[in-house]
Amino acid sequence: MLNSFVVKGNLADVWSKTIYTAAITIHNGMIEQITSIHSTPTDGLPFIIPGFTDSHVHIESSMIIPSEFARLATPHGTVATVSDPHEIANVCGIEGVRFMIENGKKVPFKFNFGAPSCVPATIFETAGAALNSQDIEALLQSPDIKYLSEMMNFPGVLFKDEEVMRKIAAAKAVNKPVDGHAPGLRGEQAKQYIEAGMSTDHECFTSEEALDKLQYGMKILIREGSAAKNFEALIPLLQEHYANMMFCSDDKHPDSLEAGHINQLCARAIAKGVDIFKVLQAACINPVLHYKLDVGLLRTGDAADFILVNNLQDFKVLNTYINGQLVASDGSSHIVSVAEMPINQFTCEPVLAKDLIVAYNGKSQIPVIEALDGQLITNKLLLPPLVENGAIISNTKADVLKVVVINRYHAAPVAKAFIKNFGFRHGAIASTVAHDSHNIIAVGADDESLAKAINLVIAAAGGVSCVSKHNEQVLPLPVAGLMSLEDGYKVAAAYTAIDGMAKSLGSTLSAPFMTLSFMALLVIPHLKLSDKGLFDGDSFSFV
């Protein structure tokens, strides 16, 4: 049992919307008493606020297992996450979901996992597993599963697909929320989607779309991850709609997680003039209430989950407490690393450069994916091909490079296309982090470099790699080809190094590997590449 202790500071009380000097008595991990010492803040004392909750995140995108994610997140004041284990489920099925839950339980951090609703995400790609409505119903019966995670198959909702509706009904039957995922959906279709039971959306990239969904009763998550950045577009809505908005990262690579988390979004919101209590409601209160989480909110009788910050402008975190335990202080985590054995599913033979050749079909224009920095959506372009010896090759001068996807689960033809905005003048990068099925995806300036980069991740049974004229690097990810078992800070350093190498090839993308990982994400329009071919997200068909 924990001893009793007292924490003094300036309490930002979200419930009374006041800030006063207080003493908080903690006993056996719970807040036993909150005593007002002075009705106003006291100079020199830290500010006490509820801990932050990331309202939607795929832990797998941090490239570290949950226990290591907790080590990197707690120094930034994060005490809980609403976590969709969709990525590992696409590779390893229910076994992968259980791996995440059990590993998360080994550290003092409040992970709240969902039942992945779309495994596989579509029938137009090859995944390593499938979860049907009976699997989902079984998962939702577990107290470890808090919600039905993002229903990406919004056409299935609109057209009342039998399997989709069974999954939604299973969540409703146990009174657990259903997360939405409907980028660009507006008007009557948005209304229909929401009325079917979708309670949140983290995919809005314009304020108009967010307002459309808010008016129909949906809660909107302001997302700011390593690739998708919607904060600037959506933050003007927070002042008025704070009761129905939250902050999330969705996908955060290890280097950016080491740098900061929800605390950064709070500081940015305050800098834009949003009221402190509205910011704290979005960052701390709303996720806990919406998902019915066992996370304390700085009330007598609550679990002692709170943080001390230097001020209410830049939110530099001094101490983080979870269940009354000091888990981080002064930028350092006190959580101890956990040893785990990897789980994976990887059956793939090395490729040759000749396997990647694209024969010229005689057409004057080819469809090209236009990657957009900071966005998951892409554009469709029609551009003239560069032809050499009867084959279409990467055009580094026009920044139109070859992109390929290779099935990691069984032998199959290589899917090939072209992409703009990666900017590589030479070399290639490859990754087995490729939403949602996590086949191997690679982009490069020439076929030899592409083959080298691909074979590096194949040899590692999963990872990210980079090949230049003079160097080769690989970061192995042995857990489902998505996560490392190493110390999270070491993984962050290794990722920073390989990310820097990718940028040295000529890329101006803020996160080349994160952007690459979404180029196979078929449920986000407009043009993507799966292991089965080039896919039009608007018509939901192959090009």
pLDDT tens digits, residue range 422-436?
A: 999 999 999 999 998
- Give me the residue label for tokens 């137009």: 124
pLDDT at position 102 is: 98
How far is the CA of 249 from the CAs of 113, 202, 257, in angstroms? 15, 9, 9
pLDDT tens digits, residue range 29-45?
A: 999 999 999 999 999 99
- Give me the residue label for tokens 């597993």: 129
pLDDT at position 493 is: 97
Contact 392, 363 (CB under 8 A): no
pLDDT at position 23 is: 98
pLDDT tens digits, residue range 316-371?
A: 999 999 999 999 999 999 999 999 999 999 999 999 999 999 999 999 999 999 99
Give the span between the Cα atoms of 267 and 283, in whole angstroms: 11
Contact 10, 41 (CB under 8 A): yes
pLDDT tens digits, residue range 166-200?
A: 999 999 999 999 999 998 899 999 999 999 999 99
Q: Distance of alpha carbon 441 from its chain centroid, rounded?
A: 18
Give the mean model confidence (pLDDT) for residues 232-252.
97
**SS3 assignment, position 207:** helix
- Pick the more confident residue, 527 or 155: 527
Give the span between the Cα atoms of 454 and 352, in whole angstroms: 10
Single-letter code of the amino acid located at 134: Q
pLDDT at position 226 is: 77
Give the mean model confidence (pLDDT) for residues 484-489.
97
pLDDT at position 1 is: 45
Give the mean model confidence (pLDDT) for residues 506-513.
93
At residue 538 the predicted structure's pLDDT band, cuts being 50, 70 and 90, is confident
Give the span between the Cα atoms of 229 and 396, in whole angstroms: 27
pLDDT tens digits, residue range 203-222?
A: 998 999 999 999 999 999 99
Give the span between the Cα atoms of 55 and 57, in whole angstroms: 7
pLDDT at position 132 is: 96
pTM of the model: 0.95
The helices-and-strands tally (H runs, E runs) of the chain is 17, 30
pLDDT tens digits, residue range 254-266?
A: 999 999 999 999 9
Per mean pLDDT, which range of 24-33, 135-144, 147-156, 364-373 is the poorest? 147-156
Give the span between the Cα atoms of 389 and 302, in whole angstroms: 70
Token duo for residue 360? 């010229």
**SS3 assignment, position 138:** helix
Instruction: Cite the beta strand spans of 4-72 per DSSP E.
Output: 5-13, 18-27, 30-38, 47-50, 52-57
Give the span between the Cα atoms of 218 and 484, in whole angstroms: 36
Give the span between the Cα atoms of 61 and 250, in whole angstroms: 8
State which H helix or E strand residue 530 sits in: strand 527-530
3-state helix, strand, coil in the chain (%, to 5): 30, 30, 40
Give the span between the Cα atoms of 75 and 315, in whole angstroms: 11
The pLDDT of residue 2 is above 70: no
The pLDDT of residue 489 is above 80: yes
| List of domains in the chain | 52-295 (3.20.20.140), 353-542 (no CATH)
Give the span between the Cα atoms of 7 and 34, in whole angstroms: 10
Give the mean model confidence (pLDDT) for residues 529-540.
92
Give the mean model confidence (pLDDT) for residues 278-293.
98
237: CB partners within 8 A, 6+ apart: 207, 210, 211, 214, 220, 245
% of the chain at pLDDT higher than 90 = 93
In 235-324, which residue ranges form alpha helices assigned H by DSSP? Answer: 238-241, 254-259, 262-271, 276-280, 286-291
Give the span between the Cα atoms of 479 and 99, in whole angstroms: 10
Nearest to 345 by CA among 22, 128, 26: 128
